[in-house]
């Protein structure tokens, strides 16, 4: 197993990508919380960076030509030789009492990891006519485990606001709405800061605009089509931030709290009762790359792991159908050079 500390630029690069792409990625877990989805993207990209670092440290040539644009579903993560590498990250959340008991307080961490499972979502493993099968490369899976914790409701290290209303996001029945226009920004707090607005100027034309925020009313330079998220850079805000689209008569009011809560409406759809800031800073991060396996071998030695399974050590309960094998059955990372 290969252990590596998470580098700051990995997190920053992953966050930048996640804030512009979170509405376009496939929400396999069906999670209504946008911040959870952003975190999942961040973790996946950190895992890829760790694998690339392993290749660099071991002088293994690789390419990233399989990576796709921010608005497309990923084809594959990394390529070496004739193989497409699919990196499957597992997150050991150090805030979780279950992980604290199972892993943090376990004196035999490597032994515990070897009893965990290497999992591939079944809809990816048997994709049928999915476009992934147009990739003319044999597939190899690599399984990093990431330890660490997010502190969404406390602190201001990395404050994010994700937009919920589909009129901002241009989703579903609102996808053909006209432009949001230049946005009016109002902040009357005493703590000046900067914000970064993540959105598009036209469909698939990403833009990230940075604005200094003070008591003066501001207007964006860009004529926005979509707005996905805002990042606050500075001390914790001490008053509300208001963002308004005059073109669509939309207003987003973000109170100076780290708070996100949902409830189910009469039609059973989720609705936010509070959606202000969340701190997505990541602490105590480490990556353990446990091993690799090619797809054909996985088919032979693996088994179907139904959702709601409770015998997978790294999870109290699985949420989707998977195909998997024990970590102890994977090839050592030291042997991956045999793929070249």
**Span 210-229, pLDDT tens digits:** 999 988 889 999 999 999 99
Residue 69 has pLDDT above 70, yes or no: no
Instruction: Round to whole Å and give the CA distance between 15 and 248.
Output: 28
User: pLDDT tens-digit profile of 24-37?
Assistant: 875 555 578 999 99
Rounded CA separation 46/144 (Å)? 10
Spatial distance between the Cα atoms of 286 and 293, rounded to a whole number of angstroms: 22
- Please, what sign has the CA dihedral across residues 146, 149, 150, 156? negative
Q: Tell me the pTM.
A: 0.92
Strands (E), the chain: 2-5, 78-80, 83-87, 90-93, 117-121, 138-150, 159-162, 184-187, 193-202, 205-213, 218-219, 226-233, 241-245, 250-254, 260-264, 270-275, 278-279, 282-294, 303-305, 322-326
In our burial notation (b when 16+ CB lie closer than 10 A, e otherwise), range 133-159 reads eeeeeebbbbbbbbbbbbbbeeebebb
Local confidence band at 132 (pLDDT 50, 70, 90 cut-offs): very low
Four-CA torsion 25, 29, 30, 35, nearest 10 degrees: -70
Checking if the pLDDT of 149 tops 70, the result is yes
pLDDT, tens digit (0-9, with 9 covering 90-100), for 286-329? 999 999 999 999 999 999 999 999 999 999 999 999 999 999 99
303, β-bridge pairs: 324
Range 218-222 contact pairs with CB under 8 angstroms and sequence separation of 24 or more? 218/184, 218/185, 218/186, 219/182, 219/183, 219/184, 219/185, 220/182, 220/183, 220/185, 221/182, 222/182
Q: In the β-sheet with 117-121, what is the strand arrangement from edge to edge?
A: 117-121, 322-326, 303-305
pLDDT of residue 266: 80
Structure confidence at residue 30 (pLDDT): 58
**Confidence band for 22, pLDDT divided at 50, 70 and 90:** very high
Going by pLDDT thresholds of 50, 70 and 90, the confidence category of residue 257 is very high
């Amino acid at each position: 197993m290969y252990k590596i500390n998470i580098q700051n630029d990995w997190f920053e690069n992953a966050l930048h990508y996640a804030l512009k792409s979170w509405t376009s990625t496939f929400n396999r877990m069906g999670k209504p919380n946008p911040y959870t989805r952003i975190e999942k993207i961040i973790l996946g990209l950190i895992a890829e960076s760790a694998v690339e670092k392993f290749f660099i440290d071991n002088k293994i040539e690789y390419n990233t030509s399989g990576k796709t644009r921010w608005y497309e579903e990923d084809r594959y993560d990394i390529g070496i030789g004739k193989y497409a590498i699919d990196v499957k990250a597992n997150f050991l959340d150090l805030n979780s009492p279950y992980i604290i008991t199972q892993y943090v307080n376990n004196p035999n961490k490597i032994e515990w990891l070897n009893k965990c499972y290497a999992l591939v979502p079944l809809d990816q493993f048997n994709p049928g006519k999915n476009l992934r099968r147009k990739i003319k490369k044999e597939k190899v899976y690599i399984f990093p485990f990431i330890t660490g914790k997010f502190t969404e409701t406390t602190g201001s290290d990395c404050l994010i606001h994700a937009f919920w209303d589909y009129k901002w996001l241009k989703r579903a029945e609102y996808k053909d709405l006209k432009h949001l226009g230049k946005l009016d920004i109002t902040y009357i707090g005493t703590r000046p800061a900067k914000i970064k607005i993540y959105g598009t100027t036209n469909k698939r034309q990403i833009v990230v605009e940075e604005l200094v925020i003070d008591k003066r009313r501001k207007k964006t330079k860009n004529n926005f089509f979509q707005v996905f998220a805002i990042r606050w850079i500075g001390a914790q805000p001490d008053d509300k931030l208001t963002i308004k689209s005059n073109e669509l008569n939309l207003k987003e009011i973000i109170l100076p709290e780290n708070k996100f809560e949902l409830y189910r409406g009469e039609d059973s759809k989720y609705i936010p009762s509070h959606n202000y800031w969340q701190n997505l800073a990541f602490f105590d991060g480490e990556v353990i790359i446990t091993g690799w396996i090619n797809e054909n071998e996985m088919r032979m030695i693996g088994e179907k792991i139904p959702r709601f399974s409770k015998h997978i050590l790294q999870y109290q309960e699985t949420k989707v159908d998977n195909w998997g094998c024990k970590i102890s059955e994977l090839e050592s990372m030291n042997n991956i050079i045999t793929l070249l």
